[in-house]
Amino acid sequence: MISIKELTKVFHTKDQDVTAVDHLDLNIQSGEIYGVIGYSGAGKSTFIRLLNRLEDPTSGSVTIDKQEITSMNKNDLRLARQEIGMIFQHFNLLWSRTVKDNIAFPLEIAKMPKEKREARVKELVELVGLKGRENAYPSQLSGGQKQRVGIARALANKPKVLLCDEATSALDPETTDSILDLLVDINEKLGLTIILITHEMHVIRKICHRVAVMENGKVVEQGDVLDVFLHPKRPVTKKFVDQVMGDPDQDHSLDLIHENYKSGKVLRLHFVGESTNQALISELSREFKIDLNILHGKITQTQKGAYGTLFVHVEGDQDEIERAQAYIQDTSVEVEVIPNVQ
């Protein structure tokens, strides 16, 4: 669907050249929600503006649905942009226009007949949950409602791709979740390909299928969200994963474990996907002559499934404990023995 090859953007200033995007390669599949995450200055906002040529690249290519965006003339680009919607952090609404007139604006530019335009606006108002607010002005709307107008406007021309540049950064957590739920709903109903730029791993965790991590203009890590969460390789990725999986109580819990449990074993169990629904603790209690005590745990949900960690203390005959441990290892649950608990 989207092929990005050797994409580079260098900004030339009086004093120096700044490489914002550095020979970036990505392939994004049709119908997926693809997240791009990075800290401020990583180049992610420049990258997304290169996709629809709000910024012209220094070199490299962007191909969307077999059309090379980077080689188009102005007239062809104007037509191609009708198939690429975009929503922004600060909404970019026309403050003198009502909700329905904001949504209708791109349809007016496309010279759609009034009757068809009004029908399309009505359809979009219902899709984004703004029925009854059609005649309100942006100043009368909450932040979440403003972003819903922005989403509806971006969808007006029935685009194949929706670009989201920090679309939830200006919203509170509850409103953020409602907008993310809306994006998932749109993705599923319309089969729309969504590329989402963010610095919040919570956003990636909640709705994205795959993710690319940017640092200094480069993609330093990419893959399925669940795989990246489970096995982050680069320090910057580990920092992002800690945003949602970091547990400030875990180190304290481990200290207490080392202090209070001098016999038996403490096991750290890693659950992934379907294994999070497995009644493993009950099975172990029934199958083996051991005592189990749950010490600490956390489970997190992603689009590709759940994953989590559970600490358990196991007491009993050493051979029986080892048999129970082998039983766990034969399941899809990973097991790790916490050292210094003997």
| pLDDT per residue of the chain (342 residues) written in tens, 0 to 9 | 899 999 999 998 888 999 999 999 999 999 999 999 999 999 999 999 999 999 999 999 999 988 999 999 988 998 888 899 999 888 889 999 999 999 999 999 989 999 999 999 999 999 999 999 999 999 999 999 999 999 999 999 999 999 999 999 888 989 999 999 999 999 999 999 999 999 988 899 889 999 999 999 999 999 999 888 878 899 999 888 887 766 555 555 566 666 666 677 888 887 776 655 567 888 888 888 998 888 777 777 777 666 777 888 888 888 988 888 888 888 778 888 877 544
Where a domain ends, among 227, 245, 263?
245
Tell me, yes or no, whether 238 and 254 share the same domain: no
Tell me, yes or no, whether 193 and 241 share the same domain: yes
Q: What is the pLDDT of residue 249?
A: 56
Q: What is the pLDDT of residue 342?
A: 47
- Please name the residue ranges forming H helices in 31-98: 44-51, 74-81
Query: pLDDT tens, 268-285?
Result: 887 776 655 567 888 888
Where a domain ends, among 212, 245, 278?
245
Domain for residue 187, yes or no? Answer: yes
Domain for residue 342, yes or no? Answer: no
Domain for residue 323, yes or no? Answer: yes
How far is Cα 63 from Cα 193, in angstroms, rounded to an integer? Answer: 14
Domain for residue 283, yes or no? Answer: yes
N-term to C-term CA, the chain: 55
How far is Cα 269 from Cα 298, in angstroms, rounded to an integer? Answer: 11
Q: What is the DSSP letter of 304?
A: T
| Angle 328-331-335 from CA coordinates, rounded to 5° | 45
How far is Cα 61 from Cα 66, in angstroms, rounded to an integer? Answer: 12
Query: pLDDT tens, 170-196?
Result: 889 899 999 999 999 999 999 999 999
Tell me, yes or no, whether 161 and 103 share the same domain: yes
Q: What is the pLDDT of residue 265?
A: 84
Residue in this structure with the two tokens 């992610």, named with its chain if needed: 44
CATH code of the domain in which 286 resides: 3.30.70.260
CATH code of the domain in which 128 resides: 3.40.50.300
Quote the number of domains for the chain.
Answer: 2
Tell me, yes or no, whether 261 and 326 share the same domain: yes
Domain ranges, residue 330: 250-337
Q: What is the pLDDT of residue 156?
A: 95
How far is Cα 70 from Cα 220, in angstroms, rounded to an integer? Answer: 24
Where a domain ends, among 245, 272, 302?
245
Q: What is the pLDDT of residue 46?
A: 95
Tell me, yes or no, whether 270 and 235 share the same domain: no
How far is Cα 334 from Cα 328, in angstroms, rounded to an integer? Answer: 7
Q: What is the pLDDT of residue 216?
A: 95
Residue 156, SS3 per DSSP: coil
